[in-house]
Amino acid sequence: MGHKVTCLDTDEGKIRNLEAGKIPIYEPYLEEVLAESRKNLTFTSSYSEAIPGSEVVFIAVGTPPTPSGAPNLEFLSQAARSIGRHIDPGFTVVVNKSTVPIGSGNWVGSLLRDAVEQREDKASIQFAVASNPEFLREGSALHDSLYPDRIVIGADEPHALEVLYSLYRPVIDQTFPAPSYLPRPEEVAAVPLLSSDLASAELIKYAANAFLALKISFINEIGLVSERVGANISEVGRGIGLDSRIGPRFLNCGIGWGGSCFGKDTAALIATAGEYGLHLPIVEAAKKINSRQRDRVVEKLLLELKILKGRTIGLLGLAFKPNTDDLREAPAIEIAQKLIDRGVRVKAHDPVAMDRFRREHGDMGIHLCQDGRDVAEGCDALVLVTEWSEYREMDWAAVAKSMRTPFLLDGRHVLDKEKLTRAGFHYVSLS
Ligand code: UGA
């Protein structure tokens, strides 16, 4: 879009790898976009190199959860202080891109002010803090950056909003040349921009994730009823979603959400509300239902196999969803641990997350396999945990033959029951 961008990370190894064109995470097209934009990108670990001369500084540090549910703001505070020590005289917009508790904009402003106060040239320095929450999904973050449903910017100073508006203008008007590997979808013409005060922008982020999380938990709760009354939950989901007030997405019944966002952000929203003496029973229920879905996997396996001790069970997929190698709060890990605790031998495969799994969870004792076929070999049951497309297209008849008992639990409700049954499987889903 013509902007010059400097990426700063205090992890020098990560910066060296990025300089060499190596991407630290898996995500389609990241290598392509890095190669294409290399001439406008600089990588550094030095604040004095990155900050002076920048008109806009995005803080995009991690805010991992603490045991209380409130996010750890240590990295945010370090970044804010360091930026305050290095911004140039003139006007700089400092943007909270990290998902931060409501009120953090004010807090970052005070940290910046403290740092600026220590400087001799403090009189010439002007800055404003803005919130610009991200709504990117892992695995399709690039698509969501170029063709977002909306852009939200919040600031208490109008000039900060103007600067961000001009920064995002090519996206808002969709005037940038679309990359060949991610063509502009036909329906994308212009992107709505919502500008608000700081606190509203911060709350929009948490409320959006909480709503998506509860949409999933809602369909999983309806899935329980659907199972008992003999209804088809996929049809029920479609029938609900065709109401334009509800919308069709995030109504897939299954083992529930994983990843670093929904669990963390719902916990943070509950923690923030608690600071004001408020309870959020709907958000709390969404979390409980999500964790119950993992238990239901074990219950279904118990019901079918009667005894779990000594069984071999295969998991198809480890990442928390397809197109990413992220394993944070991945349902596969929770389910595998529950099974291992019950004396099960667990086999698993994932198309991209196995290296990361070896590094982060190598001590769990899960037997990693070359592919889905290899997982199934000799298993008493197979669980589809992550709906990677390659699992949908397996030679299911051959898979069934290679198992000790051809039992398949479709944790994502994506496989064709009739086809699987014809292939020789006893097919079960979570509703
Ligand atoms: C989520 C939001 O979708 C983004 O808008 C937001 O920016 C991001 O969090 C964030 O806060 O950073 P993400 O966690 O990457 O994005 O992934 P999603 O595509 O939302 O999926 C989350 C989980 O929900 C996955 O485990 C997925 O399998 C599960 N899911 C999704 C369901 O169980 N059922 C559904 O119908 C949809």
pLDDT, one tens digit per residue, over 344-379 is: 999 999 999 999 999 999 999 999 999 999 999 999
Ligand 1: lining residues by beta carbon, under 6 Å: 99, 134-138, 209, 212, 216, 250-252, 254, 256-259, 261-262, 265, 320-321
Percent of the chain at pLDDT above 90?
94
Contact 330, 138 (CB under 8 A): no
Q: What is the mean pLDDT of residues 180-203?
A: 95
Strands 125-131 and 151-155: antiparallel
Q: What's the pLDDT band for 77 if we cut at 50, 70, 90? A: very high
Atom of ligand 1 minimally distant from the CA of 324:
15
261 is catalytic: yes
Predicted local distance difference test score (pLDDT) of residue 310: 98
Predicted local distance difference test score (pLDDT) of residue 69: 81
Q: What's the pLDDT band for 70 if we cut at 50, 70, 90? A: confident
- pLDDT of 403-413, one tens digit each? 999 999 999 99
**How much distance in Å is there from the Cα of 61 to the middle of ligand 1?**
19
**How much distance in Å is there from the Cα of 137 to the middle of ligand 1?**
6
Q: What is the mean pLDDT of residues 163-184?
A: 96
Predicted local distance difference test score (pLDDT) of residue 345: 98
Q: Kindly report the protein residue whose alpha carbon is nearest to atom 22 of ligand 1.
A: 257
Whether 65 has a pLDDT exceeding 90, the answer reads no
Return the structure tokens found at 269.
């929203």
Of the listed 7, 253, 261, 369, which one is catalytic?
261
Which is nearest to 34 in space by CA: 7, 57, 60, 61?
A: 7
Q: Kindly report the protein residue whose alpha carbon is nearest to atom 17 of ligand 1.
A: 137
- Longest CA span, the chain: 78
Q: What is the mean pLDDT of residues 215-237?
A: 97
**How much distance in Å is there from the Cα of 139 to the middle of ligand 1?**
10
- pLDDT of 266-285, one tens digit each? 999 999 999 999 999 999 99
Q: What is the mean pLDDT of residues 150-175?
A: 96
The residue whose CB lies within 8 Å of the most ligand 1 atoms, and thus the one to mutate among 61, 99, 132, 136, is 136
Predicted local distance difference test score (pLDDT) of residue 332: 98
Q: What's the pLDDT band for 240 if we cut at 50, 70, 90? A: very high
- pLDDT of 124-134, one tens digit each? 999 999 999 99
**How much distance in Å is there from the Cα of 104 to the middle of ligand 1?**
24
Mean pLDDT of the chain: 96
CA geometry: angle 217, 219, 221, nearest 5 deg: 70
Whether 68 has a pLDDT exceeding 90, the answer reads no
Q: Where are the beta strands (DSSP E) in 218-273?
A: none
Q: List all residues 6 or more positions away from 216 whose beta carbon is below 8 Å from its beta carbon.
A: 250, 251, 252, 256, 257, 262, 286, 290
- pLDDT of 305-316, one tens digit each? 999 999 999 999
The residue whose CB lies within 8 Å of the most ligand 1 atoms, and thus the one to mutate among 144, 203, 209, 249, is 209
Atom of ligand 1 minimally distant from the CA of 387:
28
Q: Kindly report the protein residue whose alpha carbon is nearest to atom 12 of ligand 1.
A: 261
**How much distance in Å is there from the Cα of 240 to the middle of ligand 1?**
20
The rounded distance, in Å, linking the Cα atoms of 11 and 44 is 9
